[in-house]
Amino acid sequence: MTIKRGTYEASEWTSEPDDRADVLIIGSGASGATVARHLSRAGMHVVCLEQGRWINTHEFTGNRREYELSMFGPWSKNPNVRGLNEDYPCEVSDADIVPVMYNAVGGGTVHYGAMWPRFRPSDFRLRSMHGVADDWPIDWHDLWPHYNQNDQDFGCAGMPGDPAFPPMATPPMPAHPINDYGRTFASGMNKMGWHWWPAPNAIATRAINGLVPCVRYGVCESGCPNGSKASVDITHWPRALRDGATLVTHARVSQIMTDHKGLATGAIFLDADGTEHRVRSNVVVVAANGIGTPRLLLMSANSMFPDGLANSSGLVGRRLMLNPTPMQIGVYDEPLSSWQGPAGQNVHSFEFYETDPDRGHVLGASWGTMPSGGPFAAAQIAAQAGKPAHGEGLVDAVREVLGHSLILWMVTGDLPHESNYVDLDPVLTDSSGLPAPRVHYRQDANSDALIRWHLDRGREALIASGATSVIDFPAMPDQPGHLLGTARMGDDPSTSVVDRYGRSHDISNLFVIDGSVFVTSGAVSVTSTIAANALRIAHHMVSTAAEQVVPA
């Protein structure tokens, strides 16, 4: 075996024709890292291909004056804005929501807010309960122990006893302070008689898993310069590498290979110079997010699988769900230091999470409060309210909002529609000449109604908490990057892409483990559920390794 252990650039890759890893993982984000860590600990040789690079915590701009300016360029959440070589562009002219993502070791966890709620029992049973979408082949009992384990592995700071959820293990760290603005909002929720609770975040309140305690820069979603947020480049990869994993950076996969028996045999990848390499493996695991995963499965079409891998159902790329996310800004007379983090959530609410037929729509939303940012964020908020975006009155408008406001954001449930899908763009390519994904997404009438209803309730809560004005953003400028549903799991191969363990119905040694497998979207931040499901699948892979069919 000449495949080196450890982490290195794709240009340094060497292997002999007979070399074969136990498991190849494509993508190093939340799900890929979770599975890599678990399988490596079980003694398997895992090779992970990541098209991005390692990001050093000190590169993040959140503790520097340039922070807000850096969002216009390479630190944007939008790959089309970043335009880095390791990104792939997304064709979005037919999309109501522009997806956000990040390509680096750690994937989306580098740029997520680390809000750490769980799905609720009802999320797995929408068809049975409300006659919409589909039931999952698993339920909340299947994920609960893995949520508990991931609270430890990532590092969850939370307060036990939230009556919005079935009992769960006590998080390893106490919750963050809810800050002045969280307390202000909570007072309004109490006046309304509505649920709220100090929100769980995968952000450290004490040293854990390589993380250091949060100092409330309030910039979590653009990378934590303090190393406090549980991105898996910090929490998972060092452990997986210690256990013998191989993590290859700047390795862009162009195709998953299959043999004449229809088994996956590994992948072809390109290094940063465009030189082609091959890695062979017994099992291939795709963890490239709800857009990157279908893109890769479709790009891997061959004579045996002309419509793409794992696509006999025709559902690869279909049923894309993005959790449309509105937000509201409550503006207050009193100073609230509302640039102070984490961001993250301070307070969350599940008062209106479940479907209520009397509302005229199905599904619901979770709510959470966040800091409202720095001076330029304040200017943008004020502009949304019709205040001057430049010129006379600009500074007065900023003063009204800066430090005197909070964000109430609402993650709404999203129904899966086959008409919302990802395919390959016939023209646009990435920097390697590979087809870009083309995103087709129309926000449906249910979402429109749901959002209107929740904005009305949110306004009531904010006014009750003392807000002097409320500014609506029916669509949050930076959507949360929930990329779900495009390789759904299920028991029926004709109506699903993978089985309940993420195994392709068509190719028995090909797994999908990211948010692509979600049957429904839930109405919460999704990373904890993506990771819990990945951990569940990893346990299954270990326990069934002896029976796993592998290529000759």
Per CB under 8 A, which of residues 163..192 are in contact with other proteins? Answer: 163-166, 174-180, 182-183, 186-187, 190
Q: Pick the binder of other proteins from 5, 125, 277, 459 (CB under 8 A).
A: 125
Window contacting other proteins (CB under 8 A); options: 277-285, 368-376, 419-427, 515-523: 368-376
What is the helix (H) or strand (E) element at residue 289, kind and residue range?
helix 289-299
Q: Reduce the DSSP state of residue 148 to 3 states and report it.
A: helix
- The yes or no reply on residue 59 touching other proteins (CB under 8 A) is no
Read off the amino acid at residue 39. Answer: L
Q: How far is the CB of 188 from other proteins (least distance, A)?
A: 11
DSSP string for residues in 77-103: S-HHHH--TTS---EEEEESS------
Please identify, using beta-carbon distances, which residue of 168 and 264 lies nearer to other proteins: 168
Q: Residue 329 carries which DSSP code?
A: E
Closest to other proteins by CB, 43 or 393: 393
Question: Considering the complex, what minimum distance in angstroms separates the CB of residue 214 from other proteins?
Answer: 8
CB of 39 to other proteins, least distance (A): 32
273, 432 contact by CB (below 8 A): no
Euclidean distance between CA atoms 274 and 440, whole angstroms: 29
Question: Is residue 350 within the footprint of other proteins (CB under 8 A)?
Answer: yes
Choose between 213 and 262: whose C-beta lies nearer to other proteins: 213
- Looking only at residues 132 through 151 of this chain, which bind other proteins when binding is defined by CB under 8 A? 135, 139
Structure tokens at 22: 């136990």
Q: In this chain, which of 196, 305, 367, 441 binds other proteins, going by CB under 8 A?
A: 196
- From 75, 112, 453, 518, residue interacting with other proteins (rule: CB under 8 A): 75
Q: Does the footprint of other proteins cover residue 369 (CB under 8 A)?
A: no
Question: For residue 18, what are the contacts with CB-CB under 8 A and spacing of at least 6?
Answer: none
Is residue 502 left, alpha or beta, with left meaning phi > 0 and alpha meaning psi from -120 to 50?
left
Query: Considering the complex, what minimum distance in angstroms separates the CB of residue 533 from other proteins?
Result: 18
> Contact letters (x/-) for other proteins, 81-110, by CB under 8 A?
x-x---------------------------
Q: Indicate the SS3 state at residue 409.
A: strand
* Site residues (CB under 8 A) for other proteins, limited to 401-420: 402-403
Q: Apex CA 288: angle with CA 536 and CA 243, to 5°?
A: 55
Please report how close the Cβ of residue 509 comes to other proteins at its closest, in angstroms.
Answer: 32
Which of 28, 40, 122, 328 binds other proteins (CB under 8 A)? It is 122
CA dihedral 302, 304, 305, 306 (to 10 degrees): 60
Q: DSSP letter string over 490-547?
A: -S-TTT-SB-TTSBBSS-TTEEE-SGGG-SS--SS--HHHHHHHHHHHHHHHHHTGGG
Closest by alpha carbon to 472, among 407, 411, 546, 549? 407
The binder of other proteins chosen from 73, 314, 360, 426 (CB under 8 A): 73
Shortest gap between Cβ of 255 and other proteins (angstroms)? 30
Does 449 engage in binding with other proteins (CB under 8 A)? no
Segment contacting other proteins (CB under 8 A): 128-136, 410-418, 453-461, 513-521?
A: 128-136
| Contact set for other proteins, span 419-448 (CB under 8 A) | none
Q: Which listed residue (138, 262, 312, 376) binds other proteins by CB under 8 A?
A: 376
Shortest distance (Å) from residue 213 CB to other proteins? 7
Residue in 109, 235, 355, 420 binding other proteins, rule: CB under 8 A? 355
Query: Is 67 an interacting residue with respect to other proteins (CB under 8 A)?
Result: yes
| Torsion angle of the four alpha carbons 462, 467, 471, 474, in this order, in degrees rounded to the nearest 10 | -10
Q: Rounded to an integer, what distance in angstroms lies between the CA atom of residue 488 and that of residue 127?
A: 15
The count of residues interacting with other proteins (CB under 8 A) is: 82
Q: Smallest Cα–Cα separation from 54: which of 188, 234, 274, 186?
A: 234
3-state secondary structure 483-494: CECCCCECCCCC
Q: Which is nearer to other proteins, 265 or 340 (CB)?
A: 340
Q: Least distance to other proteins from the beta carbon of 526, Å?
A: 18
Which residues 383-402 are close enough to bind other proteins by CB under 8 A? Answer: 389-392, 394-395, 398-399, 402
One symbol per residue from 318 to 347: x for binding other proteins (CB under 8 A), - otherwise; what is it?
Answer: ---------------------xx-------
Enumerate residues 465-524 that contact other proteins by CB under 8 A.
none
Distance from CA of residue 79 to its chain's centroid? 14
- Choose between 295 and 348: whose C-beta lies nearer to other proteins: 348
Strand partners, 349: 367
- CB nearer to other proteins: give 15 or 122: 122
CA distance 430 to 295: 12
Per-residue exposure over 349-374, b if at least 16 CB sit within 10 Å of its own CB, e if not: bbbbbbbeeeeebbbbbbbbbbbbbb
Please, which residue, 216 or 236, has the CB nearer to other proteins?
A: 216
Q: What share of the chain is helix, strand, coil (3-state, %, to 5)?
A: 30, 20, 50
Confirm if 514 and 290 have CB atoms less than 8 A apart.
yes
Q: How far is the CB of 453 from other proteins (least distance, A)?
A: 13
- Site for other proteins, residues 208 to 247, rule: CB under 8 A: 213-219, 226
